[in-house]
Amino acid sequence: MKRLMTIAALALGQAACVANQGDAPFRFLDARALTFEAGVGCVPSDELVIGSGSLDLSGGSPNYLLAMSVETNNSSQPITINQEQFSGPGLSDITVNEFVYSYEFVPSAGGAAANLIDTQEESTAVYRVLRPGTNADQSYVFMNAFGPKGAVALTGKNGTVFTTIKARGRLSSGQVVESNKFTFPIRVYSSGASYSCAGTQVPAGTCVVGQDVAVITDDDSCVDAT
């Protein structure tokens, strides 16, 4: 079993928080560090995890990409036919169909924390199937850190957003289930920097332009996207 190592993505005082909820049928644990590999795409680390992030809105993206390690707490149910027991693949699958978001925004200039959007929560539809016995060392789920309303509300913001996410889904039986909640802090700001690269190139090591990356200063900071 690999042991995930924690690194500081940025010099933030806050760190990600994962609710215990050990009885949840599926759980999100650490956020994996991401890199972009030419010809491959966005690759989550097998060993490095991050506790916070940043998003320079000058990069053009209104969202932050997470790769959350995930594990399931359910087991396959056997099928018995004519008193003979068979394995039961699929009977305890969890089909994830919704991410539910809530946000707290803390301005850099000081002041009270406030809800980022005009509702307590928002949700977005997704599709992902998790098999029984999914291991967090070997499995992850890509997700945006902000739903549609949250992404729009980032415009002009300078501060830290604590985004809290949980997932809902169904067992093969139809029973509705929920994951644990986790909270991930992201510093949002607009530096006014240019992140443009020539042709089909992209900023080196970056899955999302403006996410956890230094300002582009020369051609050596860009790599081919294909």
pLDDT tens string 39-75: 788 889 998 999 999 999 988 888 999 999 999 986 5
Nearest to 63 by CA among 185, 157, 147: 147
- How high is the pLDDT of residue 110? 87
| Residues with Cβ within 8 Å of residue 130, at least 6 apart in sequence | 26, 70, 72, 93, 94, 95, 96, 139, 169
CA distance 88 to 56: 47
pTM of the shown model:
0.79
Q: Is 126 exposed, middle or buried (0-12, 13-18, 19+ CB in 10 A)?
A: middle
CB 157 within 8 A of CB 105: yes
- How high is the pLDDT of residue 154? 96
Which residue ranges in the chain fall short of pLDDT 50? 1-13, 89-90, 214-219
- How high is the pLDDT of residue 3? 43
Q: Side chain identity at 199, as an amino acid letter?
A: G
| Residues with Cβ within 8 Å of residue 174, at least 6 apart in sequence | none
- How high is the pLDDT of residue 42? 87
- How high is the pLDDT of residue 64? 95
- How high is the pLDDT of residue 208? 83
Ramachandran area for residue 156 (φ above 0: left; ψ -120 to 50: alpha; else beta): left
